[in-house]
Amino acid sequence: MAELTKETDDDEISLIDLFAVLWRRKVMIIAITLTAAVGVVVFSIISLVLPPDISPLPNQYTPQALMLINDASSQSGGMSAMIGAAGLGGLAGLAGVSTGSTFSDLAIYLLGTNTTLDTVADEFDLINRYKIDAEKSPRAESRKALKKLLVAASDEKSGVFTIGFTDTDPKFAQSVVNFCVLYLERRFNELGIDKNKIEKENLEHNIASTFRAIQELEQETQGLGDALATRYLMGNVPAITLEINRLEMELGVQRQVYGQLKVQYEMLKVSMASEKPVFQILEMAEVPDQKSGPGRGLICVIVTFAAGFFAVFLAFVLNAAANIRKDPEAMAKLRGGQ
């Protein structure tokens, strides 16, 4: 019982000693904390007032674009077949995109390729904009800078794919995001991911070509018919009649082809109406009117608390040093250690 009372007294004495140390150093602790708080507030105000190009902590803006990527189309081997047909199997494997991945994973991978990064860097002259030293691997440095600023993410539940870019100029950031969206859409089309879309474009091209051929045949047939009616070429009536018959046969074939293409086109439209496209742009990026960072208020709070903890730690260090100087045995040990 006596030992327990003694331990409790020692604990109380220890707490009192700790409080006494803080009380003796209270001026230093308060001064360091207030100095840090005032300093970080002044720093934040200065960084807000100065222009972005010379500010040590400028406002940053992150516009975002939204896309809908149908990952259901990548199941059942569709993704594997597409990657193999495009010749990206080896590169995708090295990048961690397996054949069982989704089209959202492929989109993230494509945005991080050197081809995409170099295209964006050249389009917006990022090497000069970010003042990258041309003598120290400008390509590699521009890619590193772009990877830090260009962010892509996918929501597995909704299937919404997001692209964002951070910069001090909101209009410039918007331009970069929208360029990346259109570039990614073009890359998806080049890889032939959306089969229905490709088939629709091919049918539209064939329908337009067939329609032009029909118009040309009709004009040519009408021209020969007018010549025959006016007996302008009466000496070649048999040849003209034979040519007209040939053109009418060709015209009939082209009309049949045109009809079949139109039927296929309308059926494909009905089929596409009941299916979601693989890549669909939901919302292009807008010029943001609100900054995404930095959080100056949070920075002020963190610095103030950090300065307070540092001041408390320094108080205990100074107290320990003072106690050592007052202890002859400890000083003797230190001198002996020297």
pLDDT tens, the chain, 338 aa long: 444 444 444 445 577 878 888 888 899 999 999 999 999 999 999 988 888 888 888 999 999 999 888 766 544 444 444 445 444 444 444 444 444 467 888 888 889 999 999 999 999 999 888 888 767 788 899 999 999 999 999 887 777 899 999 999 999 999 999 999 999 988 887 776 666 677 777 888 888 988 888 888 888 888 777 766 665 545 566 676 777 778 788 888 888 888 888 888 787 777 666 666 678 889 999 999 888 888 889 999 999 999 999 999 999 888 888 887 877 776 777 676 55
Q: What is the pLDDT of residue 135?
A: 73
Give the C-alpha separation, 141 to 144, whole Å.
5
| DSSP symbols for 88-149 | -HHHHHHTT--TT--HHHHHHHHHTSHHHHHHHHHHHTHHHHTT--TTS-HHHHHHHHHHHH
> Contact 110/184 with Cβ under 8 angstroms?
yes
User: Which pair of tokens denotes residue 274?
Assistant: 């009941």
Q: pTM for the complete prediction? A: 0.63
Q: Hey, where are the domains in the chain?
A: 64-194, 197-276
Q: What is the pLDDT of residue 280?
A: 85
Q: What is the pLDDT of residue 243?
A: 77
> Contact 189/90 with Cβ under 8 angstroms?
no
Nearest CA to 102 among 157, 149, 150, 143?
Answer: 157
Give the C-alpha separation, 146 to 195, whole Å.
32
> Contact 124/175 with Cβ under 8 angstroms?
yes
DSSP secondary structure letter of residue 52: T
Q: What is the pLDDT of residue 272?
A: 61
162: helix, strand or coil: strand
Q: What is the tens place of the pLDDT at every residue in 300-324?
A: 999 999 999 999 999 988 888 888 7
Q: What is the pLDDT of residue 235?
A: 55
CA distances from 199 to 126, 269, 274 (A): 38, 10, 16
